[in-house]
Amino acid sequence: MKLPDFNQMIDRHNTSSVKWDFLNRDLPLNKADLLPMWVSDFDFQCPEEVLQTLYSRIDHGIFGYSERDDHYYQSAIDWFSRRHKLTLYRDWFTSIEGVVPGLALLIQMLSKPGEGIVVQGPYYASFAKIITMNSRMMIENPLLESQEGYKIDYDHLEQILEQHRPPLLLLCNPHNPTGRCWDSDELLQLLMLCKRYGTTVISDEIWADLILPWGKFTSILHLGSEWHSNVIAATSTSKTFGLSSLRISNFLIPNPELRHAFIDRLNAHGLDVFNALSMAAATAAYQHGDIWLDELQHYLAENRCWFEQALTSAVPWCRMTKAEGTYLAWLDCRDLGLDDAALQQALLQKAKLVVSMGWGFGDSGKGFIRINLGCPRQYLEKAITGLAQLTS
Ligand SMILES: Cc1ncc(COP(=O)(O)O)c(C=O)c1O
């Protein structure tokens, strides 16, 4: 197996990349001058085995309608068993091209217009989009900041559940943007509250494979069958292997009633045909991606440690949140004393960086920025140089 070189800088311009080619959509700036560190996709090539599988599938030359086959399901089951000691059953699987579209359909299926859906703020912006654009009410339960990273505010959560009786809570684990991995005690406490108030928990576990050496991922499905009637977990190979445009995701639904209702909904929208290349890539990734992923995790951990040290010495006004997973850095910029608009301008004009502004993650994200550390180290060096310019 060819070992990956994550330091390799690959030009992504002119590949229709949202991150690199569309970064100046709303900005009157030359994109060639800017370093994009915003969208959550990384700048590494996917594993060689995935590429080879795609080449041979393309060589075949026929791309008629395709379905997920037994190899796909078995490779996913084996992956979760091997990597996460999680037993999944073939029956639990439902699939759709993308986690966000699946979440949107579940929102439509499990709530009515006007009803509330709970998210933990700061929250992934697409959660807000699919909740509000489906005419549901966003209810934010802000996470509590602490020295050890963010924590769930259970008292406030209980108040919300009691007051609004929301049918759904969207959990993100590992959490985008903060990088927290909720542990089994935290998940259990959340599940107990949700069960008491009849709230179904959908756990978006798209980041499950990108765990730092000191972190541990616990799926909502690890917690035992007594909780299974009320939980759904979403997973995908997209973040893990950089396959975001080869869309395929799994919605794991142990409760047969919920599962059949979801399958009916997929069928009702004609969403029962799959992209042959996505399936080939995901199957190969699950089957052959272990060593590549181990190397990636090691590189991402080194990136994070390097970045944190460099921040401490060169950008002392910026504090990095403790994370256990993801390649995202959630940076507290409040000590700089700029409002969000001024901060964004300074980042663009002086630092030449395109980041995700914290306000895009809700009110609790104000004063923060999210930076994507899933890139060759040289980009991080540029980012530190740019950030240091803000006070020079
Ligand atoms: C928590 C979370 N869920 C879902 C997605 C996107 O999933 P998909 O591209 O499969 O719709 C992202 C992408 O950043 C994410 O961070």
Q: What CATH architecture applies to the domain 50-288? A: 3-Layer(aba) Sandwich (3.40)
- For 76-92, the pLDDT digits (tens) are 999 999 999 999 999 99
Residue matched to tokens 């900005």: 27
Q: How far apart are CA 321 and CA 177, in angstroms?
A: 10
The residue to mutate among 37, 39, 100, 217, having the most atoms of ligand 1 within 8 angstroms of its beta carbon, is 100
Banded pLDDT at 28 (limits 50, 70, 90): low
pLDDT digits (tens, 9 = 90+) for 61-73: 999 999 899 999 9
Give me the pLDDT at residue 27, please.
65
Ligand 1 in reach of 170 Cβ (< 6 A): no
Q: What is the mean pLDDT of residues 178-186?
A: 98
Select the more confidently predicted residue: 327 or 1: 327
Q: What are phi and psi of 314, to 5 degrees?
A: -105, -20
> What residues does each domain of the chain span?
18-47+290-389, 50-288
The CATH homologous superfamily of the domain defined by 18-47+290-389: Aspartate Aminotransferase, domain 1 (3.90.1150.10)
**What would the pLDDT profile of 125-139 be if each residue is shown by its tens digit?**
999 999 999 999 999
Distance 41 CA to ligand 1 centre (A): 10
Q: Tell me the average pLDDT of the chain.
A: 96
Residue 280 has pLDDT above 90, yes or no: yes
pLDDT value at residue 63: 96
Q: Is ligand 1 within 6 A of the CB of residue 249?
A: yes
Give the confidence band of 30 by pLDDT, cuts at 50, 70, 90: confident
What is the per-residue pLDDT for 327? 98
The answer to whether the peptide bond before residue 101 is cis (omega within 30 degrees of 0) is no
Chain segment 211-239, per-residue pLDDT in tens: 999 999 999 999 999 999 999 999 999 99
Say yes or no: CB of residue 98 within 6 Å of ligand 1. Answer: yes
Q: What b/e string do you get for 238-267 counting C-beta neighbours within 10 Å, with b at 16 or more?
A: bbbbbbbebbbbbbbbbbeebbeebbebbe
Range 313-340 average pLDDT: 96
| CB 169 near ligand 1, within 6 Å | no
Q: Which atom of ligand 1 has the smallest separation from the CA of 101?
A: 11
Q: Does 283 sit in the ligand 1 pocket, CB within 6 Å?
A: no
Q: What is the mean pLDDT of residues 142-148?
A: 91
* From 120, 239, 275, 330, mutation site for ligand 1 pocket: most ligand atoms within 8 A of C-beta: 239
Instruction: State the distance from the centre of ligand 1 to the C-alpha of 328, rounded, in angstroms.
Output: 13
Of 42, 96, 99, 275, the one to substitute when testing ligand 1's pocket (max ligand atoms within 8 A of C-beta) is 99
Instruction: pLDDT band for 26, please (50, 70, 90 cuts).
Output: low
